[in-house]
Structure formats: C-alpha cells, structure tokens
Amino acid sequence: MTAVESELRSIGELARASGLTVSALRFYDRSGVLAPARVDPVTGYRWYTEEQVGPARLVAGLRRVGMPLAGIAEALRHRHRPAEVHRLLDAHLRRLEDGLADARRELSRIRSLIDPEEIIVTTRLVLSRTDLAAAVDAVRFAVGADPGLPVLSAVLVEVEPDGVRLVATDRHRLAVARVGGTVDGTVDGPPVSALLPVASVDELRALLDLDGADVTEVVVATDRVTVTVAGRPVTAVPLPYDFPDYRRLLRAQLGDVPTYRIPFDAAALRAALTADG
C-alpha cells in the first residue's frame, strides 16, 4: 500500500461505512454517480476519501427508497443546496404515493376477479353539487367518441381520502379535474375507482342542474356508482375496462417541474371560446 492509499478508504471500508455493497459502489462508479478518488492503475482497485462517506450514505438512503438513478445523481450534485434536494425528495414521495394508490386500486380489482362473489365494499362521500358539476364540465370535452375504443368513451372517477378526481382522454387530449375535500370532511370507505360510460356521465350532469340541494351524495363501488341530488338518484354501471395510466403520462411530460393549480370557471371559458370562434 502506498502512502497515498494509506490515507484513503478501501472500497470494502466505504461499503461498511455507508451501507452500500461493494458491487453497488462499483455500479455507481461506472454510472458516474460516485467515482472513487483513486483507482490503482495495475489492479483496478478503488480508493475513496473520508469526505466521500457522507455522499455514499446519501446514495444508500436514496437507493433504499427506490429513487431512480438520475434522481440520485441530481441529489448528489445538489447536496449542498438543501432546497433543491428537498424538491427532489418531495417529487419522489409523490410518485411513491401515486404508485401505492394505483396498487391498492388494482389489488381491489384483482380480488373481485378472483372472488366475484365476495362482499362488495362501497365508499360514500358528500360533495358540493356545484363543484362536482364544474369538474364534469372540465373533463367532458375530452371524452373519446371512437366506437373502437370504448375505454375512452368514458370518464374515470377516482375516490381518494381527500376528494374525487375525474379523468377523460380521447388520445389527443387529456383532462383531469379534482373536487378537493368533502362537505362533511370525511370519506366513508377505502379508495376506489370506476369507469363511467359517457351516457351515464351526461345523465349525471343533467341531475346536477337540479335546484333544491347544495350537496350531492356519491356512493362508489366496483359494480355501480350512485349519485343522489335532492333525493333523486342516478345509478351507473362502470365499464369493465382498464383506463390508460394517465399518471405515468403526466409524469413523463412534466417530470419534476413544479406544477400549479389554477381554478377557473369552465362554463365561462367555454362560452368565451365559442363567442371568439
């Protein structure tokens, strides 16, 4: 061992200090994420400085939570800029949460396929009638009309712990609207989703124009969706199709770019665009 190497950590020592395996350290060297301070020209053995222990531990932590390689590299580059790293962590956490919600919905669908006779769990919530109507208006234009693609001739309804999301796409346009929060502050039941045919959506939208009620009761199950306004119910049978993974599309388009929610009056905008045309 040379005098220089005696002041460095071997790859095995860095592995023990950081929680990364030796093979992982070799991988991150080849990937350009965590290069050693010195590589022996004869043996190819890698040596690291004491200052590289902290970055290696950061890489190990990000690896454990499933951060993609590009994200790990970016976090390492910005490790002296906490705000940037926190932004990366927040974006990754949102991806994990979205993935977990998707997994729960898919597992629920799989359970119903395995045991169609099992007890159907329903989810109930109470929404603002006007907010729900605005959400329907915001996505209705993007519903597909191709008879060969019935999965797109529908609106996806997703009930989550903090509200409802409506999604529609015709392959060329994608519209997503959210009714945030419930009237009574609770969602009675697990997260659930249903794909409603456009005819049922239009029937529901007409019901939302009824006077005499400010709130709408929504009951969502895997086999039916019932919306009640002013004592008048409309029941729809969900379509048995898998809606496209719109979240992956949005992530691919936006990446980790910050997004902003801008509320607007969909009816007023549509009227203005029609007048301009």
Is 174 exposed, middle or buried, given 0-12, 13-18 or 19+ CB atoms closer than 10 A?
middle
DSSP secondary structure string for all residues of 187-217 = -BS--EEEEEEHHHHHHHHHHTT-SS-SEEE
Q: pLDDT at position 254, please?
A: 47
Q: Provide the terminal-to-terminal Cα distance of the chain, rounded to the nearest Å.
A: 79
Task: Give the Cα separation of 50 and 241 in Å (integer).
Answer: 55
Q: In the chain, what are the domain boundaries?
A: 3-80, 98-276
> Which residues are within 8 A (CB) of 72 and not within 5 positions of it... i.e. 6 or more apart?
28, 33, 59, 62, 63
Residue entry with tokens 């693609």: 149
Are 215 and 129 in contact by the 8 Å Cβ rule? The answer is yes
Pick the CATH number of 98-276 from 3.40.640.10, 3.40.50.300, 3.40.190.10, 3.10.150.10: 3.10.150.10
Strands 225-229, 232-236: pairing is antiparallel
Q: pLDDT at position 86, please?
A: 93
Q: pLDDT at position 184, please?
A: 64
Give per-residue pLDDT as tens, 29-77: 999 999 999 999 999 999 999 999 999 999 999 999 999 999 999 999 9
3-80 maps to CATH 1.10.1660.10: yes
Q: Which residues of the chain have pLDDT under 50?
A: 1, 3-4, 254, 256-257
Token digits of residue 271: 């009227």
Task: Give the Cα separation of 116 and 211 in Å (integer).
Answer: 39
Are 132 and 221 in contact by the 8 Å Cβ rule? The answer is no
Are 146 and 170 in contact by the 8 Å Cβ rule? The answer is yes
Q: pLDDT at position 181, please?
A: 66
